[in-house]
Amino acid sequence: MTENIHKHRILILDFGSQYAHTQLVARRVRELGVYCELWAWDVTEAQIRDFNPSGIILSGGPESTTEENSPRAPQYVFEAGVPVFGVCYGMQTMAMQLGGHVEASNEREFGYAQVEVVNDSALVRGIEDALTADGKPLLDVWMSHGDKVTAIPSDFVTVASTESCPFAIMANEEKRFYGVQFHPEVRLTPARVCACWSVLCVISASVKPCGRQRKLSTTL
């Protein structure tokens, strides 16, 4: 019997990400054998309910979350009871909508960066590209942002940071809400982390550091 690929469905909300990053997110999800659809950010609650996603990804985008009338995720996204994964702009709007704060950065990050994992999280557990002198994991990632989260929502924890980006990864493990400031869908760095939801709300992360392929599946 052919497996029903629509049994577990990921909804990707598009905030107009540069370099077709949103299409790359969709491609990475599909490469892991998970059905997904890419919709504009301003969908209605009724449309989301009708799609009945197993998880929701909030993409990056070219606008600034600090600007009045910039795009926001439908509030129902955070009330649907499914995992939510915010990428760059998606992380920033998640933070703002849930009580955090975003500011324009004095220093734009663009290109390769290393983020230091400072707290444990299901999202990055067991993944590392290098270690700090005191044994903390480092992840090689691709950054492209001007704004940055300067305060995370009160029920989130900081998972990883850089010198110029104190909240490179944030997480609420109980609600299964995750945000990353970098672009895990990009393959232009020594390591790439591709996150998606599959059977039983599993995040599958593929990491390819220095030509080596590893896979990690973490049940949330």
- Residue positions annotated with a catalytic role: 88, 183, 185
* Gyration radius of the chain's alpha carbons: 16
- HSE value, Cβ hemisphere, 13 Å, CA-based, for 187: 8
Distance CA 155, CA 15 (A): 25
List, as one string, the DSSP characters of 128-181.
-SEE-TTS-EEEEEEEEEEEEEEE--TT-EEEEE-SS-TTSEEEETTTTEEEES
Residues 6+ apart with CB under 8 A from 2: none
Distance CA 114, CA 170 (A): 16
Distance CA 220, CA 103 (A): 30
Which residue is associated with the tokens 């009945």?
52
CB 194 within 8 A of CB 87: no
Sign of CA dihedral 18, 142, 208, 219: negative
DSSP 192: -
